[in-house]
Structure 1
Amino acid sequence: MSSKKFYMIEQSPTFIIAKDLSFTGILHDIKKSPTSLSPVFEAFTNALESIKIKKNNNEKFGNGKIVISIYANELTDKTSEFRAIEIFDNGVGFNEEEFKRFNTFKDNSKGFKNLGSGRIQYVHFFDRTTINSIFNENNKYFEREFILSKSKSFLNHNAIVKQNYCKEISEQNTYSKVSFTGLLEPSNIYNSLTDDSLKKELLKRYLHYFCFNSNEIPEIIIDFYIYDSLKSTSTISKFDIPKYDKKEDIIIHYSTPARDGNSIEKSENKEVFSVATFKVDKKLLENNDIKLISKGEVVEETKISLNGISRNDNINGNKYLVLVSGNYIDEKDTNIRGELDIPTKNSTKLFNAFNQEVLFLEDIESNVNDKLKSLYPEIEKIIEKHQNELEHLKDMFLIGEDDDVEISINDDDKKILEKFYEAQAKKEAKVDASIKESIDRLDYLDTTSKDYEDELEKEIKKLVRILPEQNKRTLSHYVARRKLVIELFSKILDKKLKVQNSGFREKDEALIHNLLFTQKSTNTYGSDLWILNEEFIYFKGNSELQLKDLEIDNKKVFKSEFEEEEQRYLTSLGQSRLDTRPDVLLFPEEGKCIIIEFKAPNVNASNHLTQINKYASFIRNYTNKEFKIKTFYGYLIGEGIEPKDVQGSVSTFEHSHNFDYLFSPAQRVIDFNGDEHGSIYTEVLKYTSLLKRAELRNQIFIEKLGLK
């Protein structure tokens, strides 16, 4: 990154100028991390590595020490305002080699201060990051101080780093201290940060590392200051780290080419691996996982998977962490961070030169999974549960045993169906040519000919023979399901279900809601929203999820951090407005949202006319910038609908004379920030009207199958 070398001794402030790159462009391309504590995590990782380097160079050093100091101003008894945070470590310090690496853009080689674009997050979050360090170079001690910033004065020099000084000193205790000040954007995460909350975040973030190195982790102290006065302190020690539950060795044999040259067989040579398993409370460990350990470090980039349980499963409130180590893994380490030189069976390069014994990554994965199952018989129950769920899904969507679909334990329903439909598409492609031939033969038909009907029937029979049996079964299942759903809807409206007459509380609204779109679900394709509109089952959406948890394509829709006035409003009058749960939200395309609210048949729906508008207002004003939703469609559905009540409450509603519903052509959805307002079209309609529409749309199919 620099056009100059960083040799001692530099006494005057010097910008570290980028060479052959533009920091303005880099800052644009490398976006601000969605993880607010990203700079803190980067600095903490650097501290761990700095201590490790010093420990490797000095056996008498011990485990080292990290002190994190959080500084805040107290606003009330329960709130504070973030001022600064410092991360101190007594590691090796920023010597010349590490400082040069730090200033080399995207350096991913092994070593201290080598997280590539990590320092970019420093300047994205904070106006000023000051790093002070004492280090040893050629048996002399030096103190270095430098600053990171993306302020105008730095970027004018095409730099984000300025070294204030580097001077020789007499002190002989190496360390580094990273100080973050001047938070660039208001953040509830930082304003609510305390020693206890940061401890919890660090335990979650570094659990894999802590578990494997529990006896060697540094002394970690987190201090929380209010107005420079120490208010509270937390520590992280080996007593906070889960102890391994079981530890056993496994033996894995090398593979060698068979004599026929077309297969692989096991050799006599083998390697020993250590497998340590941890049962961790699900609140601390987010996902079940297997991690390889090389030289005491967790290798995050080498992916091996659990085959028996999914990442989200928990057993008795615990998740499972499996750490695999051994001399073989250490020997396969490379100079590139996160990379091991362990071959896989699909490696083209390997098979082109497969003249020696090889130990495959897949063999490690399968042997570790087998060991895990033998150590924990309860995992077999989880496997059986997943198999039953898969069979249920196959039955529901008529997935045949002959369908070429490879399904992973971590695939959710949506992913499984995507794989199935992809396989179906491949099948359909094979018959497309034959179908086209049938269509081309239509050119020779004459609708005025007396033989027309007979000739057409011949072509129909040819086409039916071409269509896969799967398609015929799917169509029958499709129509039969719709017939039963329509009948069930009618019974609910007529209160003929046993559960409606059991003497328990009224639950008609819940019965209708779950019939149309199961509560807490995101599987619109598996819903029966076609009763309302055929297109709705193809849109992304969810059913009765809190607004704050709303996601589109695994991205949070609502912001996690708000301006002071936004936060005030969202929690004013004792309410928590983003905890509300719209019955159904659908997203047909970018910038559009459909809001559906169900009301119990005995409820006067006109009393709830503004509910949909409030949801639209929340979505227009408090979502992340990438979700610029401006067009809304609202459906308020009930049975207790009196047109004069509706029009008397909201005068923009008009009565549709062709169909039995009321509609409001367009109302404004105010943008509180002064940007372009949104608009909402709303309908108020009855369940009985929906039922009649659904019966008419599906009548001809039902009659053809003899289901009427």
Structure 2
Amino acid sequence: MSNVNIKRLVENIRSGTNVYTPLVELVVNSIQAIDEKKSDKGVVDIQIKRDGQEDLIEGLRGVDGFIVSDNGIGFTQLNRDSFDELYTEQKKSDGGKGFGRFTCLKYFDRMNVSSIFAEGHELRERKFRMGLDKDIIVDEELRPISEGEVGSVVEIAGIKSVKFPDKGIDTISRVLVERLLPYFVDADKPCPRVVIRDEGSTTAPVSLNDYLGKDSSQIIEMPVQNGAFSISANGEDKSFQVRVFKFYSPRAARSKVSLVAHRREVTDVALQTYVPEFADEFFEPIPGDEAGKGRNFVIKAYVFGDYLNDNVSLERGEFRFQTESDLLSGISQSQIEQQAAEIAQSAVGAEIAERKQRKQARITEYVSTQAPWHRTLSNEVDFSSLPMRPSNQDIELHFQRKKFEKEQVTRAQVAAILQAEDEADLDKKISEVMESISETSKNDLIHYVSMRKCVLDIFSKALEADDDGRHKSEGEVHDIIMQRKKDSDEIDFDAHNLWMLDERLNFSAYISSEKPINKANGDRTDITIFNNRVAFRGENEASNPITIFEFKKPQRDDFANPSSKDDPVQQIVRYVNQIRDGKFKTPKNRDILVNTNTPFYGYVVCDLTKKVADWLEREKDFTPMPDGLGWFRWFGNINLYIEVLSWTKLLRDAEMRNKIFFSKLGIE
């Protein structure tokens, strides 16, 4: 009589098991019972117990349990006592943990056992059920019988809250074959016949053995040149063996690598985790048949080894070493799976190589058409971890990660040089670091110039009239150059395109765009820029140049009317005088430093219609530029220089300044 808190034990069963685990456990026990009997005509019969209403789609009721019968040695007194002992060592040589039967009670309400066994020349029948309280065996009956077939029948029924995921016999059979495949392919121990059917069914059962072993089978082993590998653990090499199989008609299944302990699948992981090109199924055409016909299949690699046998968990749902890294033992699950994935890759090498080429072509296209600044980096980056069909975002994020890693290495090298005391190899180290910095900077510059090309293309399109002859408003064009109602305290310095107006404006200290300076209702120009202090070459005196812009809608010229209140020239003059009089501070209460020598620059961007040109020449006393696309005037009394530029000139000049860069990149 046992004394085990069965309920508590079952509750403490860790993750790694699932609702198939009890069924696999019963089938393995039956196979071992047949092996113990040394019968070459062993049969394991699985019956599916069903309950509930039929599914409207599949026409099948749900699975409520299983009855597993075999013609093995039966529950002899030795086997019975082993069943009644927690952590029994009876099947230790076969990898037995003395625990598997308890997983039955984790997923099913009851487990009943009926067995006929031989004792000397007599037959005996033993019946019992597995207890749910303190005793493992309860309600035991033992009696002699005159005739009967030696073997066992084990029933598990009353499925608990976790529903059985599958209903069809074919699906259940396929899962069992995958989980028990090592038994079916073991040349040293031929597997008995295993069949499955619905309880009480008169139709022929499905044979799990028929899933493999023949050319027409659903599972075929694939030859591999070298299926063995070893990994060092604490100075000792651990050996592993990989066998690779094709699984035809995979449905929703994916290619996987499975780790096996004592001929049972313990864990599996998608092969695409290590080789992304395994994401899709494979296709095998039928020889001599019509073009395009054939069978789809996935790959499954099974890994065997004493290291796995020795480290499987009690529940056989996981291993006792770490998944990612194991400093204690030196071998991790991912290391084993990675090696197995490479062997599986060799089994379908031609198709994998073709998929990798297509991925590389996709990456090359992205770099050449959308991200030329990554051209140099693309020759150094390993893309093997990218998905089989990477999106633009996948590729770009991969580049950014690699770029960051490279920059971190460069920073570490610079820090090492600055701290080094030995100057013997200093010149060489500096040269190597500078070359690395140069490559990184080159990529950034290519990116920056390419984005300028995009901005100018958009700006050019914005200046065109629509189908109804209407032009964009000045606000829409304005936003391309810089967002309205923003200042440089609210946006990054590189989030504007002021380089279109003047390259020097990229280094401005403060920018205000359609935002009143220090007054909620004060005057506001389209863009006001306060530059950093610079030294002019002529007088070499510190100054603080301020630049003001006014934009007018393309083709608009009503501001040149005598009664207009939108005179852009007068607006700039008035704003300059207000700044010179010290009436304004920035929104963060920073002083706008000006004096009598502070230079002011004013720009008006509009279309130079004849009306505007006449207005500038006759009323505003402006001088035309040589190209005829702009006008200028110097207001000496307030130190203000104003240019009136056409939108065409703004675009043309920006394109001209950047043309050489576009040409060098081949993006003209």
TM-score (norm 1): 0.43
- Bigger-Rg structure (1/2): 2
